[in-house]
Homo-oligomer: A and B are copies of this chain.
Amino acid sequence: MISKQEFIEKLRNSSLRPTKQRINICEVLFNRDKTFHFTINDLFNLIKDKTGEKVSLATVYNTVHAFHKKGYLKEIPINSNQTYFDTNVTDHHHFFDVKEEKLIDLKNEDVGPIEIQKSIPGKKIKSVEVLVKLED
The size of the chain A interface, using a CB distance under 8 A, is 37
Please give the distance in Å from A132's CB to the nearest CB on chain B. 5
Inter-chain contact A134/B126, CB cutoff 8 Å:
yes
Question: At the interface, yes or no: A75 with Cβ under 8 Å from chain B?
Answer: yes
Instruction: Report which of B104, B115, B123 forms a contact with A112, defined as CB distance below 8 A.
Output: B115
User: A residues bordering B, Cβ < 8 Å?
Assistant: 75-79, 83, 95, 97-98, 104, 106-107, 109-112, 114-118, 120, 122-136
Contacts A111-B115, A125-B134, A129-B131 aside, 5 further interface pairs with beta carbons under 8 A come to: A78-B79, A110-B117, A111-B114, A126-B133, A127-B132
- In the bound assembly, the distance between CA atoms of A6 and B107 in angstroms comes to 44
Closest-by-CB residue of B relative to A78 is B77
Within 8 Å CB of A125, what residues of B? 132-135
- In the bound assembly, the distance between CA atoms of A36 and B17 in angstroms comes to 45
Inter-chain contact B130/A135, CB cutoff 8 Å:
no
Instruction: Report which of B115, B122, B127, B130 forms a contact with A136, defined as CB distance below 8 A.
Output: B122
Closest-by-CB residue of B relative to A94 is B77
